[in-house]
Amino acid sequence: MDRISQSRSRSIHRNLGDGLGPERTVRIVSFNEFNPDYVKDVNIGLEKRYYITEAMEFVKKDKLPPNTIIHLVTNDLKHMSVNECVKEMKNLVETIHTLHQTKVTVSLPPPSQRDYLNKKIVEFNKILKEDPSIHHIDHTRSFMRWGEIDRTLYMNPNHPNQRGFSRIMSNIKNDIMST
């Protein structure tokens, strides 16, 4: 990992409830700074990583709770092929399963307003959704309005704004609460 990546990687732990039990404890591995106020009744730990390789280093050395959500890949798709990213993500999921015996959910990336990146996101999401061994959360519908990407949910072409993040977190909460 280079120096820039090392300086940006950090752990943030926020407890949003006492005595909620392990089934409502989750670690989110993501490049985004999620606002925990969007998810009540869930203990959240955020492990901020920017690339799948950084997440892999983290999961090999730290203990994970019963639920782990991976919300990564957009940065990887900018400089890697879709097939490379799929392979890396599947490897990360398998490593987490093997080392931690935890439920792993891949939070698929929402659409991007950049055409070249959105094409890769659509392909990546399609491949992972077709794999029955990968539990996933698909945010695509949450970011669409009348068949188009809802641009009011983004602060720039790649990154959701607070309204966009609230939709992602709502989808994550629904997934956690349904298990």
Mean pLDDT of 143-167: 92
Q: Could you write out the DSSP letters of every residue in 129-163?
A: HT-TT-EEE--TGGGEETTEE-GGGBSSSSSB-HH
Give the pair of three-digit tokens for residue 169: 């977190």
Q: Which of 98-102, 108-112, 115-119, 174-178 has the lowest mean pLDDT?
A: 174-178
The neighbour count for residue 57, using CB atoms within 10 Å, is: 15
Give the pair of three-digit tokens for residue 15: 């407890």
State how far Cα 101 lies from the chain centre: 19
Mean pLDDT of 62-74: 88
The sheet carrying 67-71 orders its strands as 10-14, 43-48, 25-30, 67-71, 103-107, 135-137
- How much of the chain is in helix, strand and coil states, percent to nearest 5? 45, 20, 35
Please check the confidence at residue 159 and state whether its pLDDT lies above 60. Answer: yes
Q: Residues 78, 41: contact at Cβ < 8 Å?
A: no
Domains by residue range for the chain, with CATH: 3-177 (3.40.50.1110)
**Mean confidence (pLDDT) of the chain:** 83
CA distance 108 to 167: 13
pLDDT reported for residue 48: 85
